[in-house]
Amino acid sequence: MTSPHHYSFPTSRLCVVAVTGIMLTLNACSISDSSPTDPLPTIATTPIEATTVAPAPIAPTTVPEPVVKKCVITAKTLSSTSRGKDVICLQKALIAAGFLTSKATGFYGPATFGAIKKLQESRELFVDGKVGRETALSLDVWPAEVSLVVRTAPPAINAVDLMGFALSSVATSGPDAPQLPAQSGRGRRVVYSRAGQRVWAVNATNVVVRSWLVSGSKYENELPGTHKVYSRSEKATAINGKSYFLKMIRWLKTKNNSIGFHALPLHTADDSAFQTEEQLGLRLSDGCQRQANLDADFMWSFATIGTPVIVL
């Protein structure tokens, strides 16, 4: 506020200062003077305007969404003998999905067993009350499988496996191969890890002859367990007629078609490949396991009719 000016007057003159609100006005005073004809000067002051200051707008307060940390299990299977953090993770997922009403205890008891069976029945999974890959995937507690894919260094030029077959860019042999998974059988066999998108060819003395990456199914139609090669075709055509496969080795018969190993699929229109060798290790097929052409050549020699195929 601007300070008023100060003026000096004769002592016989009185002034009244009126202050109203925020406006200050100095008025002329009525006085008795020997010279009434000399009026007291009137000092008019310019009113000080009130300034209205609008309050600064208050920014709306945004409450951040609570961050829910997603959990994944580390065990490949969970059952009534399981305890601990993996079971707590599983139970929280069951509670969120509406299949379990009790609290997460870390104990795989009858309530958890029953909740898993209900989930498996409602989602058309194999019903056994146990948690494996498919059930864990359905609950979104299975780890990201890209982290389970082991990529070996490209082999040297003209490198071969223990049977003398040339190695592809995603293949290795003997002691250089990634370790065989647990519970993958014994004897001469083919082992296929769906999680790792890797195949091992093992001889009768349990030595890894060759191991390589494949592109398996995007869906859950690769049935785990022990199977056998039951059919082979030099060339097979897809049901929709848009692609064909060389060196098809079938190990699983489904309601609609057969599933097996084969070379990279080709378009029937122009013989171009559906994918590159660099993309092996990714799930890209509708059921079969796509292989680099050099790996398909090896498999055609190794996996004769009756060869066991262990699918994990």
111-147 confidence digits (pLDDT tens) = 999 999 999 999 888 889 999 888 998 898 988 777 7
Superfamily of domain 85-143: PGBD-like superfamily/PGBD (1.10.101.10)
For the chain, what is the total number of helices (H) and then of strands (E)? 4, 13
Residue 242: count of CB within 10 angstroms of its CB: 12
**Stretch 222-243: mean pLDDT, rounded?**
94
Q: Match 């994918």 to its residue by tokens.
A: 275
pLDDT category of residue 87 using cuts at 50, 70 and 90: very high
Predicted confidence at residue 61, as pLDDT, reads: 52
Return the top range by mean pLDDT from 24-33, 62-71, 261-270: 261-270
Q: Which residues contact 40 (CB under 8 A, 6 or more apart)?
A: 9, 13, 28, 29, 31, 33
pLDDT category of residue 254 using cuts at 50, 70 and 90: confident
The one-letter amino acid code at 306 reads: G
**Stretch 270-281: mean pLDDT, rounded?**
95
Q: Is the pLDDT of residue 97 over 50?
A: yes
The least confident of 31-45, 47-61, 82-96 is 31-45
Mean pLDDT value across the chain: 83
Question: Could you tell me which CATH number the domain at 148-311 has?
Answer: 2.40.440.10
Query: Is the separation of the CB atoms in 29 and 40 below 8 Å?
Result: yes
- For 14, phi and psi rounded to 5 degrees? -115, 145
The tens digit of pLDDT for each residue in 182-214 reads 889 999 999 999 989 999 999 999 999 999 999
Predicted confidence at residue 301, as pLDDT, reads: 98
Packed helices 85-97 and 110-122: angle between N→C axes, nearest 10 degrees: 50
The residue extents of the domains of the chain are 1-50, 85-143, 148-311
Task: Record the tokens describing residue 147, joined without a space.
Answer: 């982290």
**Stretch 69-92: mean pLDDT, rounded?**
91
Predicted confidence at residue 50, as pLDDT, reads: 47
Q: Is the pLDDT of residue 148 over 90?
A: no
Query: Is the separation of the CB atoms in 226 and 308 below 8 Å?
Result: yes
Q: Is the pLDDT of residue 261 over 90?
A: yes
Query: Is the separation of the CB atoms in 149 and 213 below 8 Å?
Result: yes
**Stretch 37-53: mean pLDDT, rounded?**
48
Q: Is the pLDDT of residue 77 over 70?
A: yes
Q: Is the pLDDT of residue 56 over 90?
A: no
The least confident of 67-76, 211-220, 231-240 is 67-76
Q: Match 């005073």 to its residue by tokens.
A: 29
Q: Is the pLDDT of residue 96 over 50?
A: yes
Q: For residue 106, what is the DSSP state?
A: S
